Amino acid sequence: MLGVSFAKLQKVKQEEATWAELWSVRWTPEAEIELVESALKGDTIAQAASFVIREEVQAANGAGEAARILEAAFFCGMSEAVSYITEVLQKMAVDSSALSELAAAAERLSVMIRFGSIRRLDSSPLLPVLEQIFLRACLLLANACVCDDQAAEKVMASIEQLNQVCICHDFLDQERWIDLLGEISSRDDLNTRISGFAAAILLERGRMKDEELSREVSRRLSKGIPAELGAGWFAGLSRKNRYALIARLSLWQELSDYLDTLDDEEFKRALLFFEKGVCRFQLQGKE
- Give the pLDDT confidence of 148-188 residue by residue, as tens digits: 989 999 999 999 999 999 999 999 999 999 999 999 999 99
For residues 164 and 89, membership in a common domain is answered with yes
Nearest to 204 by CA among 218, 185, 220: 185
| 64 within some domain | yes
For residues 162 and 205, membership in a common domain is answered with no
Q: What is the pLDDT of residue 283?
A: 46
| 119 within some domain | yes
- Domain residues for the domain of 61 are 43-172
For residues 94 and 119, membership in a common domain is answered with yes
**Spans of the chain, pLDDT less than 50:** 282-283, 285-287
For residues 196 and 276, membership in a common domain is answered with yes
For residues 108 and 139, membership in a common domain is answered with yes
For residues 83 and 3, membership in a common domain is answered with no
**Considering 105, 140, 172, which residue would you say is the last residue of a domain?**
172
Q: What is the pLDDT of residue 141?
A: 97
Q: What is the pLDDT of residue 10?
A: 85
**Considering 120, 139, 172, which residue would you say is the last residue of a domain?**
172
CB 89 within 8 A of CB 101: no
Q: How far apart are CA 174 and CA 177, in angstroms?
A: 5
Global pTM exceeds 0.75 = yes
For residues 25 and 78, membership in a common domain is answered with no
For residues 148 and 195, membership in a common domain is answered with no
| Domain count along the chain | 3
CB 76 within 8 A of CB 49: yes
Entry field: residues in the chain: 287
Q: How far apart are CA 271 and CA 96, in angstroms?
A: 38
For residues 193 and 287, membership in a common domain is answered with yes
Three-state SS at 7: strand
